[in-house]
Amino acid sequence: MARILITAGPTRAYVDDVRFLTNASSGRMAAALATAALAAGHEVTIVSGPVGIRYPLAARVEPVVTTAEMLAACLAALPAADGVIAAAAPCDFQPVHRAAGKIPRSGNHLTLDLEPTVDVVATLARRARQGQWLVAFALEVGADPARAVAKVIAKRCDLVVCNDLPALESSRTAVAVYDPAGACVGSRSGTKRAVARWLIDLIDARLGPAGRRQGAGFPRR
């Protein structure tokens, strides 16, 4: 049994008190992963941005809204976790200044000055202790393997799960999984529930006790 922290859904970056930037992440893949992990006997904590779905009742759910809130909740839960599955799609950018109230429509152009948000996955990887593992999702146009491999190395992940745009707001997905050496360790397509069951089995095999004994995973501090 492992204690697994799963990040889920989108986050919001507010332009003013009414409007915000976000994305089409639905949380469905995270819900499927949580269901599969629970069925495999694991304990699950979900840190989720705003979604319109329900997570398994047996999972502990921590709702958040912004990327900063997601990171804070994950850092609070990280010490008790054996591993992290980062399936969320946090906003990568946020307005430099959030306007109070509602920006009035004037008929003129509105220019937004954006800055990067904190990188949740990279921060969690830096804070992870020896023995903790980290699996991250990477949405890449065309499921570009080169970008996926670059992310697994740069962010010090144990595995990266690469998927493509059609997975958004869909009940189906197709994934390929890469390790820090750049090798594809498996691929699968189908319903998110079926793919989630396969992913949990793969994570257990490679990053569970048996996989760790064989040296799999990214070295931690």
Residues 6+ positions from 213 with CB-CB distance below 8 Å? none
Please choose, from the candidates 203, 166, 207, the residue with its C-alpha nearest in 3D space to the C-alpha of residue 28: 166
Q: Is 192 a residue whose pLDDT tops 80?
A: yes
Distance CA 15, CA 37 (A): 36
Residue 218 lies in a domain: no
Taking CA atoms, 41 is separated from 52, 72, 80, in Å, by 26, 27, 17
Tokens for 71, please give them: 């990171």
The full length of the chain comes to 221
Residue 70 lies in a domain: yes
Active-site position among 23, 170, 187, 189? 23
pLDDT score recorded for residue 80: 97
Instruction: Give yes or no: 23 in active site.
Output: yes
Tokens for 11, please give them: 């986050």
For 20, half-sphere exposure in the C-beta direction (CA atoms, 13 angstrom radius) is 17
pLDDT score recorded for residue 213: 41
Q: What is the CATH number of the domain that holds 11?
A: 3.40.50.10300
Which residues pair with residue 138 across a beta bridge? 162
pLDDT in tens, 38-57: 999 999 999 999 999 999 99
Residue 108 lies in a domain: no
Domain that holds residue 188: 3-95+114-213
- The model's pTM: 0.92
Mean pLDDT of 175-188: 93
Residue 8 lies in a domain: yes
Provide the percentage of residues in the chain whose pLDDT is more than 70.
94
Q: Is 170 a residue whose pLDDT tops 90?
A: no
Distance CA 101, CA 55 (A): 33
Residue 9 lies in a domain: yes
Q: What domain count does the chain have? A: 1
pLDDT score recorded for residue 166: 75
pLDDT in tens, 71-122: 999 999 999 999 999 999 999 999 999 999 999 988 888 899 999 999 999 9
8 Å CB contact between 114 and 95 = yes
Residue 104 lies in a domain: no
Which amino acid is located at 175 in the chain?
Answer: V
pLDDT in tens, 156-169: 999 999 987 777 77
Residue 102 lies in a domain: no
Residue 62 lies in a domain: yes
8 Å CB contact between 115 and 96 = yes
On average, the pLDDT of the chain sits at 91
Q: Is 221 a residue whose pLDDT tops 70?
A: no
pLDDT in tens, 10-32: 999 999 999 999 999 999 999 99
